[in-house]
């Protein structure tokens, strides 16, 4: 993957920083035999916990890994589109019933 190649080459993310780049965090590709070095971690680090804060004054708290699986950007967008579709359908049905009555 080109993004990982750029992180390893020009950006110099190797050694102990092997998994610190954006693409390396996302794909967690283990080093090949030619890239092996003693300072490279054997396994990728676990994902960062999802932090939730409703207001800026409240201290954010971390969700458990099982709960954080339900809080993703794609799930949020799905719910946003589903909610918009439900409002639209409600308005259509409401308008049709008003016209028929």
More confident residue, 96 or 54: 96
Q: For residue range 22-76, what is the model confidence (pLDDT) as tens digits?
A: 777 777 777 777 677 777 777 777 766 666 666 666 566 666 777 777 777 778 8
pLDDT score for 58: 59
pLDDT score for 88: 96
Residue 85 has pLDDT above 90, yes or no: yes
More confident residue, 78 or 34: 78
Q: Is the dihedral of CA 30, 36, 41, 43 positive or negative?
A: positive
């Amino acid at each position: 993957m080109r993004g990982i190649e750029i992180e390893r080459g020009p950006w110099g993310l190797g050694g102990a920083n092997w998994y610190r780049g954006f693409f390396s965090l996302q794909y967690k590709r283990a080093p090949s035999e030619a890239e092996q070095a003693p300072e490279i971690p054997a396994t990728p680090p676990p994902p960062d916990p999802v932090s939730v804060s409703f207001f800026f004054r409240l201290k954010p708290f971390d969700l458990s890994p099982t709960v954080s699986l339900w809080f993703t950007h794609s799930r949020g967008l799905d719910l946003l589109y589903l909610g918009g579709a439900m409002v639209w359908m409600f308005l259509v049905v409401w308008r049709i019933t008003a016209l028929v009555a």
